[in-house]
Amino acid sequence: MNLFANKSKILMFVLLIIVFCFLACQDKEKASANPTKLNPETNIDNQLKPNTFYKYAYAMRGCAPWDGAAVQIYLSDEPLTEKGQIQKPLLSIFIYKDISEISEKIFKFGQDFNIGTASLCPKEGKCQLIKSGTVIIKSVSPDKNIQGEYEIEFEGNIKKIGKFQTSWMKEMIPCG
């Protein structure tokens, strides 16, 4: 009987740990999927210090993996090709929110990728996915520009920090 009682206690303890971990993970996913609203009293210019600059910045409406709305931001040192395509090397940032939901918000990127993703693409070779990072959208003027800042870390301790002001690309990817 003692052996059975101990097994029951151990089983109950393991179940409690599983439930606790499940609830803790749910709270973390909800927190990372919801951007933080900027505090109007915060001096946004001091939030992130720029040290990486790209000559060209473009934005367009796009789609999240589940066919919801998204905003795509592309930063590159190269101008668009004659056909209007973005050239590598580039930093791409995808925010899985509608354009109307991103102004004056702070987006924290992590391992769950519910809020969006970013990738760093060299001129030749494979792109690297984001490890972690923060994107601050200061302002949005639909069909004109997006102003913001980023601090993004990739594998190999590669960190990209800077500011951007995009111009809008005319392409729009239909979702759904």
What pLDDT was estimated at residue 118? 94
Burial grade of 151 (CB within 10 A; 0-12, 13-18, 19 or more): buried
Is residue 20 very low, low, confident or very high in pLDDT (cuts 50, 70, 90)? very low
What pLDDT was estimated at residue 94? 95
Q: Please tell me whether the overall predicted TM-score, pTM, comes out greater than 0.85 for this model.
A: no
- The domains of the chain are located at 2-33, 44-168
- The span from the CA of 49 to the CA of 150, in Å, is 9
- The span from the CA of 35 to the CA of 149, in Å, is 14
Q: Which position has the higher pLDDT, 49 or 139?
A: 139
What pLDDT was estimated at residue 5? 54
Query: CB-side exposure of 141: number of CA atoms within 13 Å?
Result: 8
Residue 82, both tokens: 């004659």
For 132, residues 6+ apart whose C-beta sits below 8 A from its C-beta are 109, 110, 111, 152, 153
Q: Which residues of 131-146 are buried (b: 16+ CB within 10 A; e: fewer)?
A: bebbbbbbebeeeebb
- pLDDT of 55-83, one tens digit each? 999 999 999 999 899 999 999 999 988 88
Q: Looking at the predicted structure, is the pLDDT value of residue 30 above 50?
A: no
Which of 117, 133, 140, 115 has the alpha carbon at shortest distance from 59? 140
Q: Looking at the predicted structure, is the pLDDT value of residue 164 above 80?
A: yes
Is residue 126 very low, low, confident or very high in pLDDT (cuts 50, 70, 90)? very high
Q: Give me the mean pLDDT over the 88-94 stretch.
A: 94
